[in-house]
């Protein structure tokens, strides 16, 4: 049981990828979107011959359940630095679950000009943060990733949301499994929704679309993460994420568009 | 000559769309990315039977030149509220120029909870802003859209960049053509790059990927726009955009990932 093993793929003779949605990556029965995105991205990285996702977008079509899946891939272009590929994840019955479009490359040192107008989030050390593998928050997914929430952002679980649509914390994988550029895709979708920290009648916020930009391969160690929302409007909200490695380098930036159901619709994780 | 006419599509018997990259939508010979994205999105909206782009991602594969093009489309899923489709724009030789993945719907009134932690950019009235159709900035593209830059953000053209990686201004279409949700895709990619306003040796910033979320149909009139960049790092930069309509409503949010070439590479618009 590891992220790498649970996102393993094999390529068949017709160029189609076979994989398994492993059990335990779900919240409430549906596999985590970042996990599914990483699974497809691994296939597309293989198909495109480039190891690192650079910009990957997934549109979520139907919930993923544990079991055999296939990934059809098509490489649109192979350039000098980047290759662009698309893929569809299907369950055993052929039903499409997730459609992905991404550009892949090999990330490394860059000698281009740099300017960063932001800093990584300030966090207490991981052991002084709130782990999400104990108590009410326990779900099998919470044992597949190692999340440590900033204490100021973890009160929603006890009914005391911070009032700010923000979630900060550390992300890692259990058993010291390294976080590679594919695992960053998981990291961008592993934290509780930002809006759990505001007093809006919002529970379940299904993701319509998630785009992650990967800027660099992370250094070994924890990732400092921050997710914020500025616009809950029109029946949608965006959630913007930043993942920074232990050297203080931004390694990934993400944005997802999620649906804001009307209050009448059933709540899920937040109401448990 | 209008945005609507220049993004017209026809569907042939095999379900493929035919269109023409009209002349005049280029900067330095290459068609504007937002224009190409709108062209493909129009085809995908038609294919999916939904009028409005909700989340659209394009990966730019090769420059588009004026002339006949085709768009292959595939509808992955048609749901109750949204349909998801992908498309590839090809030139007359079959070369892929742009690959698009998007979800489409019918945007209208929403009774979901709302919370907005931002305000539209403060701008002088359009006539007190800096038009981009006169002087050195004139290009045929600058006559296809009506941009009025905030005077504080327009100094780069005279060699006095503001120092902030930000561009604010009004967006409209000439001759009072209404800005619909497809034209918003154009609006997210029409302004000069944010980094023209900082003193970095950066000129040409080719877009690798552009994602736009459309939250609402804009009210008639000008759009207030702001584009910012926080992370120039790893050989990439993001450009985040917000488009607000005259009623003060956020109608679109965009993010693009662009390449930051090394200083040795040739400059383009900024150096002209």
The tokens describing A160, both together, are 């005391």
Determine, for residues A209 and B250 on separate chains, whether the beta-carbon distance falls below 8 Å. Answer: no
Q: For a pLDDT cut of 90, what percent of chain B falls above it?
A: 84
Question: pLDDT of chain A along its 272 residues, tens only?
Answer: 799 999 999 999 888 999 999 999 998 889 999 999 999 999 999 999 999 999 999 999 999 999 999 999 999 999 999 999 999 999 999 999 999 999 999 999 888 999 999 999 999 999 999 997 655 455 788 889 999 999 999 999 888 999 999 999 999 999 999 999 999 999 999 999 999 999 888 878 999 999 999 999 999 999 999 999 999 999 999 999 999 999 999 999 999 999 998 765 444 444 33
Please state which of the ranges B139-148, B221-230, B236-245 shows the lowest mean pLDDT. B139-148
DSSP 8-class letter at B218: P
User: For position B265, what pLDDT does the model report?
Assistant: 47
User: For position A268, what pLDDT does the model report?
Assistant: 47
Regarding beta strands B207-214 and B146-149, do their DSSP bridges make them parallel or antiparallel, or are they unpaired? unpaired
What average pLDDT score do residues B73-83 get? Answer: 96
User: For position A204, what pLDDT does the model report?
Assistant: 81
User: Does residue B271 have a pLDDT over 50?
Assistant: no
The tokens describing A22, both together, are 């492993």
The minimal CB distance from A96 to the residues B57, B77, B211 is found for B77
User: For position A139, what pLDDT does the model report?
Assistant: 73
Q: For a pLDDT cut of 70, what percent of chain B falls above it?
A: 94
Nearest to B226 by CA among B155, B122, B137: B122
B-chain residues near A76 (CB < 8 A) = 59, 61, 88, 96, 99
Determine, for residues A116 and B213 on separate chains, whether the beta-carbon distance falls below 8 Å. Answer: no
A256 vs B263, residue with greater confidence: A256
A-chain residues near B198 (CB < 8 A) = 115
CA distance readout (Å), A19 to A36, A68, A184, B175, B212:
11, 6, 19, 54, 31
Q: ipTM, 2 decimals?
A: 0.94
CA distance readout (Å), A199 to A195, A226, B269:
8, 19, 47
**B207 bridge partner residues:** B258
The minimal CB distance from A55 to the residues B102, B257, B263 is found for B257
User: Does residue B32 have a pLDDT over 50?
Assistant: yes
A-chain residues near B216 (CB < 8 A) = 233-234
Nearest to B37 by CA among B25, B23, B29: B25
B-chain residues near A208 (CB < 8 A) = 54-55, 82, 103
The residues of chain A that CATH labels 2.40.160.210 are 1-106, 123-272
Matching CATH number, A1-106, of 3.90.1150.10, 1.10.287.130, 2.40.160.210, 1.10.357.10? 2.40.160.210
Centroid of chain to Cα A47: 21
What average pLDDT score do residues B216-235 get? Answer: 97
DSSP 8-class letter at A183: H
CA distance readout (Å), B257 to A54, A257, B18:
9, 17, 28
Matching CATH number, B3-107+125-271, of 2.40.160.210, 3.40.50.720, 2.60.40.1510, 3.30.70.1520? 2.40.160.210
Rounded to a whole number, what is the distance in Å from the CA of B115 to chain A's nearest CA?
A: 5
B-chain residues near A254 (CB < 8 A) = none
* Residue A63 burial (CB count, 10 A): 16
The minimal CB distance from B76 to the residues A99, A165, A229 is found for A99
Determine, for residues A235 and B110 on separate chains, whether the beta-carbon distance falls below 8 Å. Answer: yes
Q: Indicate the fold that domain A123-272 takes in CATH.
A: Porin (2.40.160)
User: For position A133, what pLDDT does the model report?
Assistant: 67
| CA B168/CA B147 separation, integer angstroms | 10
B203 vs A256, residue with greater confidence: A256
| CA B46/CA B8 separation, integer angstroms | 11
User: For position A62, what pLDDT does the model report?
Assistant: 97
**B255 bridge partner residues:** B211, B240
The tokens describing A263, both together, are 């209050």
pTM, whole model, 2 decimals? 0.95
- Report the chain A residue with the minimal C-alpha distance to residue B102: A59
For B122-154, the pLDDT digits (tens) are 999 999 999 976 554 557 888 899 999 999 999
């Amino acid at each position: 049981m590891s992220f790498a093993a649970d996102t393993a793929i094999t390529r068949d003779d017709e160029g189609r990828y076979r994989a398994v949605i492993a059990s335990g990556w779900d919240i409430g029965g549906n596999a985590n979107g970042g996990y599914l995105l990483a699974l497809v991205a691994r296939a597309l990285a293989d198909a495109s011959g480039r190891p690192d996702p650079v910009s990957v977008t997934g549109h979520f079509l139907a919930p993923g359940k544990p079991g055999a899946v296939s990934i059809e891939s098509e490489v649109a272009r192979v350039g000098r630095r980047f290759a662009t590929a698309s893929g569809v994840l299907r369950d055993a019955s052929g039903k499409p679950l997730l459609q992905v479009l991404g550009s892949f490359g090999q990330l490394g040192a860059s000698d281009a000009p740099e300017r960063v107008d932001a800093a990584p989030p300030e966090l207490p050390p991981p052991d002084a943060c709130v782990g999400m593998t104990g108590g009410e928050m326990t779900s099998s997914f919470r044992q597949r990733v190692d999340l440590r929430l900033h204490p100021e952002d973890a009160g929603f679980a006890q009914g005391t949301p911070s009032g700010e649509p923000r979630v900060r914390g550390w992300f890692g994988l259990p058993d010291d499994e390294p976080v590679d550029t594919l695992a960053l895709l998981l990291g961008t979708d592993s934290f509780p929704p930002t809006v759990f920290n505001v007093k809006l009648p919002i529970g379940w916020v299904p993701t319509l679309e998630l785009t992650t930009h990967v800027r660099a391969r992370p250094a070994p160690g924890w990732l400092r993460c921050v997710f914020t929302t500025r616009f809950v409007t029109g029946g949608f909200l965006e959630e913007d994420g930043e993942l920074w490695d232990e050297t203080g380098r931004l390694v990934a930036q993400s944005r997802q568009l999620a649906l804001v159901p009307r209050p009448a619709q059933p709540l899920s994780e937040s109401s448990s």
